[in-house]
Structure 1
Amino acid sequence: MILYGLKNCDTCRKALKQLPQAHLVEVRGEGVPSAVLIKALAEFGDRLVNTRSTTWRGLSEAERSAAPLELLQQHPTLMKRPLIAVEDRLYLGWDKSTQEALQS
Structure 2
Amino acid sequence: MILYGIPTCDTCKKAMKALKDAGHDPQFRDVRAQPLSEAEISAIVQEFGDRAINKTSPTYRSFNAFLKESDPEVQIAEQPTVMKRPVIEHEGRWTIAWDEAAQSVWLG
TM-score range, shorter chain: over 0.9
Partner SS state of residue 35, structure 2 = coil
Q: 2:80 aligns with which of 66, 76, 81?
A: 76
> How many Å separate the matches in 2 of 1:73 and 1:65?
14
Q: Which runs of 5+ in 2 are unaligned?
A: none
Percent identical residues: 37
Task: Give the aligned partner of residue 43 of structure 1.
Answer: 47
> How many Å separate the matches in 2 of 1:2 and 1:23?
5
> How many Å separate the matches in 2 of 1:5 and 1:65?
23
Give the aligned CA root-mean-square deviation in angstroms.
1.0
TM-score w.r.t. the length of structure 1 is 0.93
Q: Which runs of 5+ in 1 are unaligned?
A: none
Q: CA deviation at 1:58?
A: 1.0
> How many Å separate the matches in 1 of 2:3 and 2:72?
20
Q: Does structure 2 conserve the Cα–Cα contact (< 8 Å) formed by 1:4 and 1:32?
A: no
TM-score w.r.t. the length of structure 2 is 0.90
Task: Give the aligned partner of residue 15 of structure 1.
Answer: 15
Runs of 4+ off more than 2 Å: none
Q: CA deviation at 1:30?
A: 0.4
Q: Does structure 2 conserve the Cα–Cα contact (< 8 Å) formed by 1:11 and 1:94?
A: yes
Q: CA deviation at 1:86?
A: 0.4
